[in-house]
């Protein structure tokens, strides 16, 4: 049985690559920085990858054009496009700072603290406001049923619940929904 010898792929010599980097590197880096919106590190990575491609494809040096620059810019542009598509296909990465400030949903202390805050704010309401919110939100009565139980008109129930919720929002500023004003 004959053994097949594997020939390594042909590559350009190091002197040719060094000359290529010397002659075209600064212009290519500037071009890649524009494609990466000024991200120096990303542009340098793309420059390095472009030169690796030139090293892996020595046939590009034998092309019929006078300069390698068009070939290098085309390869660099395609690499930049591929890198951008790859980044957009992945979910955005977040830093440790965001994770450090986000409460753990399994942490019961956060829930307990929130309950204490709500109880304190609820206790600070007037008796009329507490009575309306108790019937509407804790007992699950409708506006009409609450009005009947408390012996007041439905419009008064609506008005008291509105002002009671606003007062709670002022007492609990950290719990306000984003985009909504408590005032």
Same domain, 157 and 114: yes
Q: Is residue 182, in this structure, part of any structural domain at all? A: no
- Predicted pLDDT of residue 163: 94
Distances from the Cα of 79 to the Cα of 17, 43, 113, 164, 176, angstroms = 18, 10, 51, 59, 46
Does residue 128 carry a pLDDT above 90?
A: yes
With respect to residue 147, please indicate whether it lies within any of the assigned structural domains. yes
Contact 26, 69 (CB under 8 A): no
Q: Are residues 111 and 143 in the same domain?
A: yes
- Shared domain for 68 and 113, answered yes or no, is no
Task: Please indicate whether residue 141 or residue 69 has the higher confidence score (pLDDT).
Answer: 141
Could you tell me which residue, 5 or 171, shows the higher pLDDT? 171
The answer as to whether 109 is a domain residue is: yes
Instruction: Identify whether residues 84 and 147 lie together within a single domain.
Output: no
Look over the chain and give the mean of its residue pLDDT values, rounded to a whole number.
82
Put residue 179 in one of left, alpha, beta given phi > 0 → left and psi -120 to 50 → alpha. Answer: left
pTM equals: 0.44
pLDDT band at 175 (very low <50, low <70, confident <90, very high): low
Residue 58 lies in a domain: yes
Rounded distance, CA 77 to CA 36, Å? 10
Q: What is the pLDDT of residue 109?
A: 82
pLDDT tens, residue by residue, 12-51: 677 877 888 888 889 989 999 999 888 899 999 999 999 8
* CATH code of residue 70: 1.10.1740
Q: Residue written as tokens 């309950």?
A: 115
| Count of domains observed in the chain | 2
* Cβ pair 26, 18 in contact under 8 A: no
């Amino acid at each position: 049985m004959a053994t097949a010898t594997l020939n390594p792929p042909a590559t350009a010599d190091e002197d040719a690559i060094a000359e290529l980097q010397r002659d075209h590197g600064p212009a290519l880096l500037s071009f890649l920085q524009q494609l990466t919106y000024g991200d120096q590190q990303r542009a340098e990575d793309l420059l390095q990858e472009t030169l690796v491609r030139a090293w892996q494809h020595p046939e590009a040096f034998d092309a019929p054009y006078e300069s390698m620059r068009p070939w290098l810019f085309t390869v660099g542009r395609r690499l930049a496009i591929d890198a951008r598509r790859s980044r957009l296909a992945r979910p955005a990465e977040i830093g440790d700072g965001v994770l450090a400030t986000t409460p753990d949903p399994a942490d019961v202390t956060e829930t307990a603290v929130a309950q204490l805050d709500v109880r304190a704010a609820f206790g600070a309401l007037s008796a009329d406001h507490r009575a309306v919110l108790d019937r509407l939100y804790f007992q699950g009565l409708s506006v009409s049923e609450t009005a009947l139980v408390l012996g007041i008109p439905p419009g008064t129930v609506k008005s008291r619940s509105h002002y009671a919720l606003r007062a709670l929002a002022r007492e609990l500023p950290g719990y306000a929904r984003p985009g909504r004003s408590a005032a």
